[in-house]
Amino acid sequence: MARLAVIAGGGALPARIAAAHPDALFVTFDPQAGNLPDGAEVLHASFERAGALFAGLKAAGVTEVVFAGGLTRPKLNPLRFDAKTMALAPAVMAALKAGDDGLLRTVVGAFETEGFAVRGAADLVPDLTAPAGRLAGRAPAKADLADIDRAVTILTTLGPLDIGQGAVVVQGLVMGIETVQGTDAMLDFVAGTRARFRRDGGVLVKAPKPGQDLRVDMPALGPQTVTAAAEAGLNGIAFAAGRVLLLDRDEMIVRAQAAGLFLLGQEV
């Protein structure tokens, strides 16, 4: 019998998975986590005691795990490490220097070594992604499609470097390339700096990096990003079909319609 554990980070994703998998066990690293479903079975864990976490999962009959929502990098106290965390520490330290992808690969590898199957949230809750086609708004104009193409080229070119998953192009001008600060910070930057170029519109494109493990690190869009894109004066948002999480799709569509933005699933 497969039993699922949800490694719960912030945001609404844990609750979405709980709705589809009511018997899942929820693992949280945050003693104050306020986003766990009512009545769920919860395992409180610490990065400092990986051995205790794995033992607790096995004791609960867990065979597969899903990472749901961003985990903040904790401050760790090496004096509190258990033997398992101690054994994992060198690989984690090396991975931290190699970028976020490396860290995730290391964490995923540790769960797999312990015998857990790692599932993707989008596999467990299929409507978290959307196929190619328009979800909201008018059809993109020719200039929008050209901007989408250029942004896709940028993301594809940068992909091997493990940087961002988003870019903003405005009538051919590249105005934002996502870095570690994230999509919304990039959109704020565009909003604050675009006026002098006197060009209307533009697009945000989100797509995974080549080789990115979509089970644990799928790019995500949510309602806040729709609002930020509108405030940045963009015409719309395009996302890689089936490969970008849409967190609260209904609210995204409502906001996009209200702001006159298109939302477009794109084969990338």
Q: Where along the sequence are the contacts to its own copies (CB under 8 A)? A: 96-99, 153-154, 157-158, 160-161, 163-164, 172-177, 179-181, 185, 189, 193-194, 197
Q: Give 37 or 140: the residue with its C-beta nearer to its own copies.
A: 140
Q: Give 18 or 207: the residue with its C-beta nearer to its own copies.
A: 207
Q: Give 175 or 221: the residue with its C-beta nearer to its own copies.
A: 175
Q: Give 12 or 174: the residue with its C-beta nearer to its own copies.
A: 174
Q: Give 50 or 154: the residue with its C-beta nearer to its own copies.
A: 154
Q: Using alpha carbons only, what angle is made at residue 167 by residues 162 and 171, rounded to the nearest 5 degrees?
A: 150
Nearest approach, Cβ of residue 97 and its own copies (Å) = 6
Nearest approach, Cβ of residue 52 and its own copies (Å) = 27
Nearest approach, Cβ of residue 123 and its own copies (Å) = 30
Nearest approach, Cβ of residue 63 and its own copies (Å) = 35
Nearest approach, Cβ of residue 185 and its own copies (Å) = 5
Structure tokens at 145: 């499609």
Distance between CA atoms of 4 and 200, rounded to whole angstroms?
47
Nearest approach, Cβ of residue 89 and its own copies (Å) = 18
Q: Give 66 or 103: the residue with its C-beta nearer to its own copies.
A: 103
3-state secondary structure the chain: CCCEEEEECCCCHHHHHHHHCCCCEEEECCCCCCCCCCCCEEEECCHHHHHHHHHHHHHCCCCEEEEECCCCCCCCCHHHCCHHHHHHHHHHHHHHHCCHHHHHHHHHHHHHHCCCEEECHHHHCHHHCCCCEEEECCCCCHHHHHHHHHHHHHHHHHHHHCCCCEEEEECCEEEEECCCCCHHHHHHHHHHHCHHHCCCCCEEEECCCCCCCCCCCCCEECHHHHHHHHHCCCCEEEEECCCCEECCHHHHHHHHHHHCCEEEEECC
Rounded to 5 degrees, φ, ψ at 163 are: -115, -120
For strands 64-68 and 117-119, give the pairing.
parallel
Nearest approach, Cβ of residue 51 and its own copies (Å) = 27
Q: Give 38 or 97: the residue with its C-beta nearer to its own copies.
A: 97
